[in-house]
């Protein structure tokens, strides 16, 4: 099989062009292009070019405001508020970043609220946009009702991702980004396709009983990670990044879109901290953090995201590898736009 | 056995008097009295009067600045900074609360940094002091190196508690407060005393191998909850509430005090959010949160802290029950001060 090598910039432009061709306004299309190219570059396949089709379907279904430009709707105290006006979240995030940075520098801690967005993106690209600016950051958002609270019997919470980042001068940042469910829905799908039983503790069936059958799990609910502790964190995310910011919770998001097959609509909360200010002259926080990272790695434990950073380094050196099918898919979507979805 | 009933106010005063008798300045002694009485009232025995002895030992060992008054050392932007100047954390927290509230109202989100404190307190009394003011709150702090990072082999992280609260108008607040280790050290001690094996996944031995032997676990390390996810959250707590606020991490705290038998010395980070401001007029966040709580309880799942709130309601109705031994212990400490530790 022939393999094509491309650069991050070229892939980002290519994917952006696909979305423009499909009717998305340039600001949204290009931001989406960058974040999908970043996923592909980092071998984070679940957020790479594989996701293009789902985004196009969301556009075709009229579930995203394709012509919407993001807008700063509030900037007050330590809070910046950007509305995506029904468009994809990424352009709204990009618009908010410099303002969030300015507020975090001015106040020590600040919050970026994104409202009315169709959410497509892992959270780590957002976290990294802030660690690049020497800020620590914590991001969270609801998703779709698909996870039962600990002790519960039916889908209510989302897979509610939570991500955190800490800047490092001489290494890629400390970044974690994970779902608060034990497993992602995609992993259950993979078990179903492979005809494999699920590990214990992943899911319950439609009657609320524990199950290892992927079909029964998909008809039932996933479970939160870490039992009641993960369930509590997921509930906190519904409260802070749903209710508190005046946007949809996971059950509301599912009701609004009516299916989990399209990108969900809700908001997002991103907190940014200026470590230099928070430390108040009590030591150099970036240098002190390195002592902790060395101690973790020194006992054989790994820092999160290292696989992703290794893939990135390889892609930056050798280019991003695309198979023949990938290249054909990109060409088809670029040529035919939404019409390619029918084929 | 005779049982004595007392009120929260009387018990708080009694415990405060014990600490004053032991040489603690009034501001620290009374704050400690209130928080210990709250633990006893809520049947949260691990933070009730059982803890008095440990606090007295910390005083006797000279590991707390008994005469220190807390001081506001910074108030700038969205950050309030209070130093306990080596005293117990609770008085410093109480001094910071009205300032944190004012900053959260002014800026939407604000942070309270407590530095140089000897940490004695569960985090939920602090969270509840903020939910009482209609703020949402997130608190975290390091502790002592006693938990191995996921994939690691030796103690490094603390049991690093994380607590969150959301205000409710017609019910006790939504509050969770948990260690980021699978189990608390005290639970491992209880298994040791009972001669019972630990559940799988709680701990590793001194060679880094999984163990269910409590003795081996106490000589080795505890494990974080939720595998790599809990480990990442615990690491985040070291970074945000240790390094970033210019205070000790868990390994540094252990090195500074030299034993896990005394209360640890480090800092704490408390974030407060004003939901009314964050919602920006997009719905009533407190009312919307009730819909979520009803849905959780409606499927048979429980909200956290309910056992504690039931115990509180009973104590408020019937008084706080103290056994003969408890009463004798309180009398002895009140009469003899630190000298009672010898007996």
How many domains, in total, are found in chain A? 1
ipTM: 0.97
The residue among A190 and A318 whose pLDDT is bigger is: A318
Give residue B232's region: left, alpha or beta (phi > 0; psi -120 to 50): alpha
A281 in B contact zone (CB under 8 Å): yes
A149 in B contact zone (CB under 8 Å): yes
Q: In terms of domains, do B155 and B187 share one?
A: no
Lowest-confidence region among A136-150, A222-236, B41-55: B41-55
Chosen for mutation from A301, A302, A303, A304 (greatest number of chain B CBs closer than 10 Å) is A301
At residue B238 the predicted structure's pLDDT band, cuts being 50, 70 and 90, is very high
Output the pLDDT for position A1. 65
A vs B: CB pairs below 8 A? 234
Residue B252 C-alpha, separation from nearest chain A C-alpha, in angstroms: 10
Q: In terms of domains, do B161 and B107 share one?
A: yes
- Pick A301's closest partner by Cβ from B150, B271, B300: B150
Q: Tell whether A35 is covered by a domain.
A: yes
Does the distance separating the beta carbons of A113 and B164 come in below 8 Å? no
Does the distance separating the beta carbons of B283 and A78 come in below 8 Å? no
Q: In terms of domains, do B285 and B297 share one?
A: yes
Inter-residue contact A194 to A175 (CB < 8 Å): no
Q: In terms of domains, do B300 and B310 share one?
A: no
Interface of B with A in 29-68 (CB under 8 A): none
Averaged pLDDT for residues B217-227:
96
Three-state secondary-structure class, residue A170? coil
* CA dihedral sign of residues A167, A172, A176, A178: positive
pLDDT at A94 over 60: yes
Task: Spell out which residues of chain B touch residue A227, defining contact as CB-CB under 8 Å.
Answer: 225
- Pick A76's closest partner by Cβ from B78, B108, B235: B108
Q: In terms of domains, do B230 and B206 share one?
A: no
Inter-residue contact B141 to B244 (CB < 8 Å): no
A12-62: pLDDT as tens digits: 999 999 999 999 999 999 999 999 999 999 999 888 999 999 999 999 999
Q: What percent of chain A has pLDDT over 70?
A: 99
Inter-residue contact B159 to B46 (CB < 8 Å): no
- Name the β-bridge partners of B165: B137, B175
The residue among A265, A239, A270, A266 whose CA lies nearest residue A99 is: A270
Residue A277: its H or E element:
helix A275-279
Residue partners of A290: CB distance under 8 A and separation at least 6: A168, A170
CA distance A298 to B156: 11
Alpha helices in A153-263 (DSSP H): 185-194, 214-219, 227-238, 250-257
Q: Tell whether A42 is covered by a domain.
A: yes
B136 in A contact zone (CB under 8 Å): yes
- Here the CATH number for the domain that contains residue B259 is 3.30.1370.60
Q: Tell whether A91 is covered by a domain.
A: no
CA distance B260 to B247: 18
Averaged pLDDT for residues B299-310:
97
Question: What is the per-residue DSSP string for A62-111?
Answer: T-S-TTPPPEEEEEETTEEEEE-TTSBHHHHHHHHHHHHHHHHHHHSEEE
Place of tokens 């897979």: A159
Inter-residue contact A330 to A16 (CB < 8 Å): no
CA distance B122 to B177: 8
Residue partners of A100: CB distance under 8 A and separation at least 6: A80, A110, A111, A112, A130, A270, A272
Q: In terms of domains, do B294 and B318 share one?
A: no
- Here the CATH number for the domain that contains residue B190 is 3.30.60.50
A243 in B contact zone (CB under 8 Å): yes
Q: In terms of domains, do B88 and B122 share one?
A: yes
Does the distance separating the beta carbons of A79 and B295 come in below 8 Å? no
Residue A165: its H or E element:
strand A162-166
Inter-residue contact A323 to A45 (CB < 8 Å): no
At residue B2 the predicted structure's pLDDT band, cuts being 50, 70 and 90, is confident
- Pick B232's closest partner by Cβ from A153, A291, A304: A304
pLDDT at B309 over 90: yes
B72 in A contact zone (CB under 8 Å): no
Output the pLDDT for position A262. 80
The mean pLDDT of chain A is 95
Catalytic residues of B: 46-47, 187
Chosen for mutation from B107, B230, B272 (greatest number of chain A CBs closer than 10 Å) is B107
pLDDT at B343 over 70: no
Residue A29 C-alpha, separation from nearest chain B C-alpha, in angstroms: 28
* CA dihedral sign of residues B181, B187, B192, B198: negative
pLDDT at B307 over 60: yes
- Here the CATH number for the domain that contains residue A15 is 1.10.1530.10
* CA dihedral sign of residues A200, B228, A251, B296: positive
Output the pLDDT for position B1. 64
B252: nearest CA partner in chain A: A292
For the beta carbon of residue B46, count every other beta carbon within 10 angstroms: 11
The mean pLDDT of chain B is 95
Please count the CA atoms within 13 angstroms of the CA of B117 that sit on its side-chain side.
31
- Pick A251's closest partner by Cβ from B156, B273, B295: B295
A61-84: pLDDT as tens digits: 999 999 999 999 999 999 999 999
Please give the C-alpha separations between residue A156 and each of A98, A216, A235, A332, B298, in angstroms, as whole numbers. Answer: 35, 17, 10, 38, 11
A271 in B contact zone (CB under 8 Å): yes
Q: Tell whether A329 is covered by a domain.
A: yes
Does the distance separating the beta carbons of A246 and B283 come in below 8 Å? yes
Please count the CA atoms within 13 angstroms of the CA of B75 that sit on its side-chain side.
14
Describe chain A by its helix, strand, coil percentages, rounded to 5: 50, 20, 35
B111-161: pLDDT as tens digits: 999 999 998 789 999 999 999 999 999 999 999 999 999 999 999 999 999
At residue A245 the predicted structure's pLDDT band, cuts being 50, 70 and 90, is very high
Q: Tell whether A248 is covered by a domain.
A: no
Q: What percent of chain B has pLDDT over 90?
A: 92
Inter-residue contact A75 to A107 (CB < 8 Å): no
Chosen for mutation from A76, A161, A235 (greatest number of chain B CBs closer than 10 Å) is A235
CA distance B217 to B207: 10
pLDDT at B243 over 90: yes
CA distance B33 to B179: 23
Output the pLDDT for position B287. 97
Q: Burial level of B170, CB count in 10 A (0-12/13-18/19+)? A: exposed
* CA dihedral sign of residues B291, B296, B300, B302: negative
Q: In terms of domains, do B300 and B315 share one?
A: no
B235: nearest CA partner in chain A: A292
Please count the CA atoms within 13 angstroms of the CA of B163 that sit on its side-chain side.
23
Output the pLDDT for position A317. 97
Residue partners of A43: CB distance under 8 A and separation at least 6: A307, A308, A311, A315
Q: In terms of domains, do B123 and B252 share one?
A: yes
For the beta carbon of residue A228, count every other beta carbon within 10 angstroms: 17
Domain, as residue range, for B219: 182-223
Lowest-confidence region among A100-104, A120-124, B151-155, B301-305: A120-124
Q: Tell whether A103 is covered by a domain.
A: no
B259-285: pLDDT as tens digits: 877 878 899 999 999 999 999 999 999
Q: In terms of domains, do B146 and B235 share one?
A: yes
pLDDT at A343 over 70: no
């Amino acid at each position: 099989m022939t393999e094509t090598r491309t650069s991050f910039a070229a892939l980002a432009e290519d994917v952006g062009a696909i979305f423009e061709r499909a009717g998305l306004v340039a600001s949204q299309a290009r931001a989406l292009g960058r974040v999908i190219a970043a996923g592909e570059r980092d071998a984070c396949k679940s957020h790479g070019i594989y996701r293009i089709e789902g985004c196009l379907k969301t556009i075709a279904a009229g579930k995203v405001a394709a012509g919407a430009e993001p807008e700063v709707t509030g900037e007050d105290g330590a809070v910046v508020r950007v509305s995506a006006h029904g468009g994809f979240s990424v352009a709204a995030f990009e618009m908010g970043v410099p303002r969030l940075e300015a507020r975090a520098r001015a106040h020590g801690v600040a919050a970026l609220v994104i409202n009315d967005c169709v959410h497509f993106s892992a959270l780590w690209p957002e976290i990294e946009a802030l660690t690049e600016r020497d800020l620590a950051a914590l991001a969270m958002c609801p998703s779709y009702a698909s996870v039962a609270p600990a002790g519960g019997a039916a889908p209510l919470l989302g897979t509610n991702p939570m991500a955190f980042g800490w800047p490092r001068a001489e290494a890629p940042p400390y970044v974690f980004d994970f779902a608060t469910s034990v497993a992602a829905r995609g992993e259950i799908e993979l078990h179903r396709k492979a005809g494999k039983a699920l590990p214990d503790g992943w899911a319950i069936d439609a009657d609320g009983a524990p199950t290892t059958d992927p079909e029964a799990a998909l008809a039932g609910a996933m479970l939160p990670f870490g039992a009641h502790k993960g369930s509590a964190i997921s509930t906190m995310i519904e409260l802070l990044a749903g209710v508190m910011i005046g946007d949809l919770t996971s059950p509301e998001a599912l009701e609004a879109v009516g299916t989990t097959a399209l990108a969900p609509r809700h908001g997002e909360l991103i907190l940014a901290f200026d470590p230099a200010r928070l430390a108040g002259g009590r030591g150099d926080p970036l240098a002190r953090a390195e002592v902790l990272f060395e101690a973790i790695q020194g006992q054989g434990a790994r820092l999160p995201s290292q696989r992703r950073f290794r893939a990135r380094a390889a892609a930056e050196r050798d280019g991003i590898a695309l198979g023949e099918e990938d290249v054909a898919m990109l060409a088809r979507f670029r040529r035919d736009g939404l019409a390619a979805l029918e084929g």
